[in-house]
Amino acid sequence: MSSILQEGDIEYKNDLISLSIAMDIGSVSELTIFSYNGKGIINYNTLSDYIYKVERLKSISELNVNLQSGKSDMLGYPEYFSWIPGNDISLLSDNSNIENSINVETVKNSLSDQEYHKDTFIILEDFYQQDWSPEGVWEIVKLAPESEDQVRLPFFESQTKGEGTEGRKMNLINWMVSQGLITESGQDQIDLVNELGSFKFYSSSVNGSIFKLILKRNFFYSDAKYKYLTSFVDELGLIKTNGVGPFSTITEWNNIFDITFNSNVYSKISISQSRDEVFYAEIEEYINTNWDNKLKDNLWSQAIEDNSLDLSSRDPNTLRQVILYCLKYFGASQDIYLMGSKLYPDLSDSNVKTLIQWKMHTGAIDNYSGLKRKIIREDAFIPMLNKTINVPKIVFLPPKTSYAYSMDYNKLTNTENNTGYN
Tens place of pLDDT per residue across the chain (422 aa): 344 444 444 444 557 899 999 999 878 899 999 999 888 999 999 999 999 999 998 776 678 889 999 999 999 999 999 999 999 999 999 988 888 899 989 999 999 999 999 999 999 989 987 788 788 888 888 888 887 666 678 888 888 766 788 999 999 999 999 999 999 888 899 999 999 999 999 887 667 889 999 998 865 444 433 343 334 444 566 777 778 899 889 999 999 999 888 888 888 777 667 888 899 999 999 999 999 999 999 999 999 999 999 999 999 999 999 999 999 999 999 999 999 999 998 877 566 678 999 999 887 888 888 888 889 898 889 999 999 999 999 887 788 887 667 666 545 544 443 332 22
Q: How far apart, in whole angstroms, are the C-alpha atoms of residue 117 and residue 122? A: 8
Q: In what order do the strands lie in the sheet with 28-36?
A: 121-123, 39-45, 28-36, 193-202, 155-158
Single-letter amino acid code for the residue at 415: T
Q: Is the dihedral of CA 395, 398, 402, 406 positive or negative?
A: positive
Q: How far is CA 400 from CA 160, 208, 280, 388, in A?
A: 19, 14, 11, 21
Please list the alpha-helical segments (H only) found in 191-245: none
Q: Please answer whether residues 304 and 314 qualify as being in contact, where contact means their C-beta atoms are separated by less than 8 angstroms.
A: yes
**What DSSP string runs through 56-103?**
EE-TTT-PBPPBPGGGTTSTTTTT-EEE--SSS--TTTT-TT-TT---
Distance between CA 383 and CA 386 in Å, rounded?
Answer: 5
